[in-house]
Amino acid sequence: MSKVNLLAGLDIGSSSVKLLLAANKGEEGWEILFCGEEPSIGIRKGVIIDVDKTSHTIRSLIDRAVAESGQRIDSVAVNIGGSHLSCAISRGMVAVSRADRNISKEDVDRVLQEAARAISFPANNEIIETFAREFIVDGAGGIKDVQGLQGGRLETEVLVLSSFTPYKNNLVQSIWGAGLQIDDITPTALASSYSLTTAKQKDLGVAVLDIGAGTSDLAVFEEGELIHLITFPIGSNNITSDIAIGLKTDVDIAEAIKVKLGSCSATGKDKKERIEMEGESPLTFSRKQLAKIIVARAEEIFAEAQKELRKINKQGALPSGIVLSGGGAKLPGLVDLAKKEFKLPCRLGKVISFKELEDKPEYATVAGLVLRGNETGAGFPEKGRPFSEGFGSKIKKILKSFLP
């Protein structure tokens, strides 16, 4: 078997599709062989609505990567986004099977299966990942690893992530349509956490808020485990639309104004701006007026995140605070606004392991997909066929264990 040292991450977002191809050099660290993006076509609010157009975009990126790196790419780790993602808590219980009362791997697998069966999903929803929050042995809880312990009754509490099957199928078909296999599918904010947070931060308690173009994704961690995940159908494109309406201009000009002049801070001198418009009267506005528009929508995103933190009793109770990521997080003054709203430590995420991407939070998801793939053993050898299982057979094995 060839040594795995190449991994490809594919971030399918509402505004762009990003691809990162990297080589794991062991003690030397990571080498980026290709990092690029293409404008998204056929994707709305994180959901693929046109499979053929998305496949074409992905194929275009892959061809660029192959030409630049000289490496063949046959499989990718990909994110999944959209407000159709949901999470729920479930519990399962089994009797320990061995006569000596030692808890085996088979007992652990059975109790996880019971927990997955116990949960009721809406029609057309399916499990994409399950996280064990704790195990309970004969009533004693808070146990993370039970294999080898002794007991008669084994229980577990799990967090189950699910997605709307037609949307997940569109994602899979888009990847297959580009001639690729899938190593792994990971929710956006969960992927970002791999490149933005440390094990210690996840153990103490931290949240990743990924502000994309069409959606914002929140993932919350405590004691090293994911405890909550949700996607809001609000993102930086909403800020652009608000600017277009507020300043009575078109969306393209509003986007340019947001990128060049946008800020969440209205302090200081109220500078007037004047933009010459071809064939029209000049567009005039004040910096305070622009900041007021932006802050209103940013506060709405933060309010939605606060609502979710209250649901899980973590409002103001995350020692490692909030990590902001995604292209929408780059707005000047956003971190200070977040500190004010959350009353927690807040920072703009810095991508770890890839120095070239350190100050580019918009690449946090695709970098996290590569890092997670490295942990789970995904990838392929240089200039070779991938030896890892394709997603098709892999997911069948996973889901088969959850079916009655």
342 and 366 inside one domain: no
Encoded tokens for 182: 């899938």
Query: Do 76 and 116 fall into the same domain?
Result: no
Task: Evaluate whether residue 289 is within a structural domain.
Answer: yes
d(CA 301, CA 296) in angstroms, rounded, equals 9
DSSP 8-class letter at 312:
T
Cα separations (Å) of 195 from 46, 198, 235, 397?
20, 8, 21, 28
Same domain, 30 and 176: yes
Which whole-number Å values give the CA distances from 39 to 182, 219, 361, in the listed order? Answer: 21, 26, 17
In this structure, what CATH number is given to the domain that contains residue 331?
Answer: 3.30.420.40
Q: How far apart are CA 60 and CA 62, in angstroms?
A: 5
- Res 345: pLDDT: 96
The predicted pLDDT at position 3 comes to 57
Candidate from 161-170, 259-268, 299-308, 358-367 with smallest mean pLDDT: 259-268
318 shares its domain with 184: no
Q: What's the confidence (pLDDT) of residue 349?
A: 96
Query: Do residue 301 and residue 370 come from a single domain?
Result: no
* Residue 380: per-residue pLDDT: 73
Q: What percent of the chain has pLDDT over 90?
A: 79
Same domain, yes or no, for 379 and 278?
Answer: no
Domain boundary among 148, 163, 178: 163
Q: What share of the chain in percent tops pLDDT 70?
A: 92
Q: Supply the pLDDT for residue 292.
A: 95
In a shared domain, residues 115 and 62: no
Q: What residue numbers bound the domain in which 379 lies?
A: 6-83+166-195+354-395
Give the DSSP H/E element, type plus range, for residue 132. strand 125-137
Does some domain include residue 262?
yes
Per-residue pLDDT, 340:
95
- Sorting pLDDT into bands at 50, 70 and 90, what band is 123? confident
What's the pLDDT tens digit per position in 30-60? 999 999 999 999 999 999 999 999 999 999 9
pLDDT exceeds 60 at position 274: yes
Q: Which helix (H) or strand (E) holds 275?
A: strand 272-275
Q: Tokens for 235, please give them.
A: 């993102």
Q: What is the pLDDT of residues 309-334, one digit of tens each?
A: 999 999 989 999 999 999 999 999 99
* Lookup: tokens for 49: 């609505």
182, 390 contact by CB (below 8 A): yes
Domain count, the chain: 3
Residues facing residue 284 across a β-bridge: 274
**Both 272 and 299 in a single domain?**
yes
With respect to residue 242, please indicate whether it lies within any of the assigned structural domains: yes
Residues in the chain: 404
Tokens of 8: 């490809």
Spacing of C-alpha 32 from chain mean position: 21
Judge whether residue 171 has pLDDT over 70.
Answer: yes
Check whether 1 has a pLDDT greater than 70. no
- Tell me the whole-structure pTM to 2 decimals: 0.87
Whether 190 and 262 share a structural domain: no
**Dihedral over Cα of 360, 363, 365, 366: its sign:** negative
- Is the same domain home to 289 and 159? no
- Residues 341, 261, single domain; the answer is yes
pLDDT at 384 over 50: no
Top-ranked range on mean pLDDT: pick from 104-108, 122-126, 193-197: 193-197
